A and B are shown apart, each in its own frame.
Chain A
């Protein structure tokens, strides 16, 4: 009985958070047209959120691609099918690992930065100060960061995938001596623009919206204390990771 009640409260809390972030998303969308009038603010945030995550994304992409090629080679060689290595690496990256790993890294690198920045602005009354200067902090601070995250995520995923395939090529072709022609031609023949590429793009856009929304939401509603901001930052990572993995399952189930 007690267990049931606790489960009920957890579910209630979850639904409450879902509702609150949905309302917050509505607020953001309503302020978006005005925010778009100042693209400079958005580009600056694309730099902060996206460009500053580049090194992490590229290094991770390279290693993920290299590991995929190594593991794939070991398995495929048992069936004498190493020529399919390129396909394996490219499809794994495009369909699954690219969007998911990038989103998880993004939550850790950019999401936490967004949450703590906005949370600290709340704690030091900078947001209240803005409101008192008749400047809407949602339009001036939150929306540019949100849009920057939504723009950056698909781009980062694209870069992650490209570098990942390159990593797979380095290990597969240069190290394991898979035939270079079959590596590339198999990718060319088996990766479908509609099914594989598009689904990856859809995933990356959805993850971009989810991760950035969680980050700015947690920051904006953080308790205005040091502890409150640190807890909000933790929640950003935890909730983003859960949201990405759950959404990934749903999207995969629907699309394939």
Chain B
């Protein structure tokens, strides 16, 4: 299994020996992942491999059964609530649906973390909110309510809210799902721009191979609780493994079978098998 540099200062997140079960299902079984500082790292894998769960473990929303999850040198599962909240001030998390507060306008949504964590005067809050909205191209939508926004706009507002407190790390949970090509392009460009201009570390969880590959510096492919492959998009493209090939090319059949396990078709049609 390949890894990023082991130097601690270069990795903002280091996960080792991660084990997590959901009921009877084993989600992670000895997962090791390092996320280098200042880069855009993608975590890809088929649906149901626990990519979102992994993000939630990194941010302390879900407790793993075993393993170390170091974020900025702190072991997240062992942190007290106060220490976790302190650490989260350095994190931004973009939810799949945006998770905007439906009772608040776009402006108030972006102002929310500022009002909660700072005692800035209203004039300064206004400046920051308008600048963050300008960064995602939605300064003109400040007065709208979340219900008046399209899916892509809602996600951009959520992104503006995420960067309102200038986090060091941003987690993106499936940021491309359900977006039209233009919105998708906008979000892709924003992820790259924000990462480079603000000096962030970005972690994207997604299964949109083409989109993610166009923006990420390196990707992890995970499946069945383990890292299957790691590398830059080009390296993954040339990976010889049949599984990686199938996933990156989006082929219907391969090591991951097209058919859900079933009895022989002829036998079942002829009524010899009583399944169904």
- Complex contact A125–B97 (CB within 8 A): yes
Query: Which chain B residues numbered 230 to 270 have a C-beta less than 8 Å away from chain A?
Result: none
Known: A133-B165, A135-B113, A135-B116. A124 touches B97 (CB 8 A): yes
A-binding segment of B4-12, B72-80, B83-91 = B83-91
Interface pair A132/B88, CB less than 8 Å apart: yes
Question: Taking the complex as formed, is B274 at the interface, i.e. its CB lies under 8 A from any CB of chain A?
Answer: no
Task: Tell me if A132 and B117 are in contact (CB < 8 A).
Answer: no
B95–A129 touching, CB < 8 Å? yes
List residues 128-147 of chain A with CB under 8 A from any CB of chain B: 128-129, 131-136, 140
**B47 interface residue (CB < 8 Å to A):** no
Query: How many CB-defined contacts (below 8 Å) exist between A and B?
Result: 46
Pick the contact of A133: B88, B97, B102 (CB < 8 A): B88
A74 adjacent to chain B (CB < 8 Å):
no
Q: B172 within 8 Å of A by Cβ?
A: no
Complex Cα gap A165–B93 (Å): 56
Contacts of A133 in B (CB 8 A): 88, 112-113, 116, 161, 165
Residues in B with CB closer than 8 Å to A125 are 95, 97, 99
Query: Is B61 close to A, CB under 8 A?
Result: yes
B264 to chain A, nearest CB (A): 38
Q: Does A132 lie within 8 Å of B61, measured CB to CB?
A: yes
Report the count of interface residues on B (CB-CB < 8 A).
21
A129 vs B173: C-alpha distance when bound (angstroms): 12
Given known A-B contacts A132-B61, A134-B88, A134-B89, A124 and B102 have beta carbons under 8 A apart: yes
A128's partner among B86, B99, B100, B116 (CB-CB below 8 A) is: B99
A128 to B99, CA, bound (A): 8
Instruction: Please determine whether B59 and A132 come into contact, CB atoms closer than 8 angstroms.
Output: yes
**A252 at the A/B interface (Cβ < 8 Å)?**
no
B99 touches A134 (CB 8 A): no
Q: Are A132 and B116 touching (Cβ within 8 A)?
A: no
**Which of B99, B112, B165 contacts A124 (CB under 8 A)?**
B99
Q: With a CB–CB cut-off of 8 A, which chain B residues contact A185?
A: none
Which listed residue, A126, A131, A136, touches B61 by the CB 8 Å rule?
A131
> Which residues of the other chain, A, contact B61 by a CB distance below 8 angstroms?
128, 131-132
Q: Which residues of A contact B86 (CB under 8 A)?
A: 134
Q: How far is the CA of A134 from the CA of B91 in the complex (A)?
A: 9
| CB pair B59 A126 closer than 8 Å | no
Residues in A with CB closer than 8 Å to B112 are 133, 135
Q: Is the CB of B91 within 8 A of A132?
A: yes
Nearest-neighbour CB distance to chain B for A145, whole angstroms, equals: 13
CB-defined contacts of B116 to chain A, threshold 8 Å: 133-135, 140
Which chain B residues numbered 54 to 113 have a C-beta less than 8 Å away from chain A?
59, 61, 85-86, 88-89, 91-93, 95, 97, 99-102, 112-113
**Which residues of B sit under 8 angstroms from A140, Cβ to Cβ?**
116
Task: Give the complex CA separation of A129 and B91 in angstroms.
Answer: 12
Q: Are A126 and B102 in contact (CB under 8 A)?
A: yes
A131 neighbours in B (Cβ, 8 Å): 61, 88
In Å, the complex CA distance between A131 and B81 comes to 11
Q: A134 to chain B: which residues have CB within 8 Å? A: 85-86, 88-89, 113, 116-117
Task: List B contacts of A132 (CB < 8 A).
Answer: 59, 61, 88, 91-93, 95
Please report A residues at the B interface, Cβ cutoff 8 Å: 124-126, 128-129, 131-136, 140
